[in-house]
Structure 1
Amino acid sequence: MSKQATPLVALCQRIKVNRFCFLIQAKEELRLPSYKGSTLRGGFGKAFKKVCCSQPKLKCSECALSRACVYTYVFETSPSRQSAMMKLYQAVPHPFVIEPPLRRQGVFQRGESLEFTLTLIGRARDYLPYFVLAFKELGEIGLGTGLGKYELMAAHSDDNQENHRIYETLSSRFGECPSPIDIGLGNTPNEDDQLELKFHTPTRIIYREQLAAHPEFHVLMRALLRRVSAIAYFHCGTPPELDFKSIVEQAQEVKIIGEDIGWFDWERYSNRQKTRMKMGGFLGTATYEGPWKNFLPLLKLGELVHIGKGATFGLGKYSIG
């Protein structure tokens, strides 16, 4: 695996990522579900199209401006079917992740505030003002049951860079996108150290055509390799040059030695499919031992971009213990 460590580090370092914290304040009663990621993601998609689209009566596929459209890039990314990478993926991952507040409070009265985090990946970082405007617009459209209105009060970098504000309501001015996050690969732990992963939101990984019920290490690494490779190729202009077979074989040597994992079932309503969808996944903590050290680049990047299905609305959030 050592010969693969350098290419893996190089790939992860080429994926530029920023995180931003948004503060919103209810202008009237907001009624939101206990898990707010899907609601934020659904409302944001509509607002983003309203902000970006100059031909709202046309389908994206029929619009002459689609190749130059920010909305089309973010939500309808459609590279050539001749692309070698497209043979491996059914869909292109979106270049953003919305992390909702995890508190279960459902009703916010006028004047109450809540925060959420937006992660932008690769080329999407260039379009930061569109994302900010979309969340501002969503406050005017309304959010949740009854479409309660809110005001976007401020947005700032969540990249450990002090006081880097990118928007505040008093000035309505945008700051520049800061430098990308350094995922910090300098502090490599000893090989003998155990690895602990904490899964904070339902994690949905498909392995052998079924949802994985346990976070086996090689299953996690397969999912991260797929996600990170697709992000690198489609959003960062970086074709992955990795020996996937060798990496997976090494991952199979890392074993779970302890776990406190449970299954969490929840449902969300899909506006696109007009139906309620079950979105269960595993939660909890798992401890591993074995040759996991060379996977640290993937693990640290995965903390930012999440893992598995539903990552854009906050599922698959984990942290290295």
Structure 2
Amino acid sequence: MDLNLVTLQLTLPSETLAKLTQLVGSALRFEAALRALVCNPDDRECTGCPQNGSCPFVLLCGRILSSDPELVRLYQRPGVPFVLGPLQQTESGQLELSLVLLGPAIHQVALFVRAVEQSLDAVSLYQVSVCDYQNQQRILPDLSSRSLADIPVLSAATLLDLATPRFASCQQIQITITSPLRMLHQGRELNRFEPGLFVKAVLRRISSLTAYYGTSADPDLFRRYAQSAERFRLLSQSVQQQGRRGVSGHFVLEGPCNELGPLLSLGGLLHIGKGAAYGNGAFTVSPMP
């Protein structure tokens, strides 16, 4: 299993807060900005367009089903190969917006930055930074080049290897959900945190995105992981939001942390649940001492 990623941090002026709040959480708004940048005949529907097969917008936002019937059976329609948000405000009042690009999207760094600016009526960003394996940020001075020579491209497999020692001897983890997690179960939206369902949703999100945009993992291995997810139990919680519009807060779990902790940590880059690609369902995972 592997997947290439580029993780960006966009810094914006505080006066863009209202527009950014509208942008994050709105697939239509951001995808319309992407489409406007790459599509000349913007009055034409994508279906039937002669450029459909090579159009960057279709590649990034088309959610195209695989030609492999087994992959479609396992995962159905793919998610988009990027994760926008969540939005945070610094102590100085500036705004920070994270942007994770996956698979084919890593070659479109400049396009995604321009789409954010266009969504904000061409407000210039203060800076664009890219993160390395140590989560150190490097400022990108020039986005005009399409070359990835100066942009750290991360490997999901390497991220898992680096995270493994942190969870080697841990029996408990803390899940911190920082933006509303909206999960469906049996056709209904959950209004509380369910450990087993949460872990299974993270595993499914990772396996689906790697299958469509990277190299897929052994399905039998992920089935075993899903069985292990049933062993997690909730020890304590500090709920900040709970209800039909999402769940957030701190949740301490006990279970097979050494086995699944690294995967859950990777899942924090991808978010889960409804609106995951647009800022919802952001979370971090920390081993408990």
TM range (shorter): 0.7 to 0.9
The match for 2:4 among 7, 12, 16 is: 16
The match for 1:85 among 46, 57, 71 is: 71
Q: Matched residue of 1:298: which SS?
A: helix
Q: Structure 2 CA distance, aligned partners of 1:246 and 1:238?
A: 15
2:279 alignment counterpart: 314
1:145 alignment counterpart: none
Q: Structure 2 CA distance, aligned partners of 1:174 and 1:153?
A: 20
- 1:161 is displaced (CA, Å) by 6.5
Matched, 1:158 2:131: yes
After superposition, the CA RMSD in angstroms is 3.0
5 Å matches for 1:34-113? 37-38=24-25, 41-80=27-66, 83-103=69-89, 113=94
Q: How many residues align?
A: 278
TM-score of the superposed pair, with normalisation by structure 2: 0.83
Q: Structure 1 CA distance, aligned partners of 2:284 and 2:105?
A: 24
Distance 1:180 1:253, change over 3 A: same
1:200 alignment counterpart: 178
Matched, 1:286 2:267: no
Q: Matched residue of 2:118: which SS?
A: helix
1:57-100 CA deviation, whole Å, 9 max, x = no partner? 32111111111111001111212465222224453101111113
- 1:153 is displaced (CA, Å) by 3.3
TM-score of the superposed pair, with normalisation by structure 1: 0.75
Distance 1:47 1:167, change over 3 A: farther
Q: Matched residue of 2:273: which SS?
A: coil
The match for 2:225 among 243, 247, 253 is: 247
Matched, 1:115 2:96: yes
- 1:189 is displaced (CA, Å) by 3.0
Question: By percentage of residues, which structure has more helix?
Answer: 2
User: Is the 1:229–1:240 Cα contact (8 Å) retained in structure 2?
Assistant: no
5 Å matches for 1:183-222? 183=159, 184-191=162-169, 193-222=171-200
- 1:162 is displaced (CA, Å) by 5.3
Higher Rg: 1
User: Is the 1:251–1:292 Cα contact (8 Å) retained in structure 2?
Assistant: no
Q: Which runs of 5+ in 2 are unaligned?
A: none
Q: Matched residue of 1:221: which SS?
A: helix
Q: Structure 2 CA distance, aligned partners of 1:175 and 1:37?
A: 27
Matched, 1:135 2:116: yes
Amino acid at match of 2:153: S
Q: Matched residue of 1:38: which SS?
A: coil
Distance 1:71 1:36, change over 3 A: closer
- 1:229 is displaced (CA, Å) by 1.4
Q: Any runs of at least 4 consecutive aligned residues in structure 1 with deviations exceeding 6 A, and if so which?
A: none
Amino acid at match of 1:158: C
Q: Which runs of 5+ in 1 are unaligned?
A: 1-10, 106-111, 143-148, 266-278
Distance 1:96 1:290, change over 3 A: same
